Amino acid sequence: MFAAVKFYTPVRKRLVIPRKAVHQGRVYMAGTDNKLKIQPVSITHHLGPLVVIKENDPLKPGQKIIITDILPVFEDLPLKPVIAREYQQWLATEALGKQP
């Protein structure tokens, strides 16, 4: 015998970032001075290519996280950030669970 079950839960706003942006529990960010900042993050769970950040984590929406590899990695490394708009759109769609 088989049964089909659907679970409904209230929608909760959470911060999600690409899994590839997390490096051993830390994210690399472009600070307001366009210098590399390294910040630890707390992940609650993984959703495919995304991770959900803990609600009281210091990482906030709008901060510029780096999604490419940087070598060498050291605090205050000068950066020349490039906004990946297409990737931002994909990320927003993926985070909302919508099909493109």
Is 100 a residue whose pLDDT tops 60? no
CATH of 16-95 among 2.40.30, 2.40.420, 2.40.50, 1.20.5: 2.40.420
Comparing CA positions, the residue from 12, 42, 34, 47 lying closest to residue 78 is: 34
At 6-53, the pLDDT tens digits run 888 787 788 899 999 999 999 999 998 999 999 999 999 888 899 999
87: left (phi over 0), alpha (psi -120 to 50) or beta: alpha
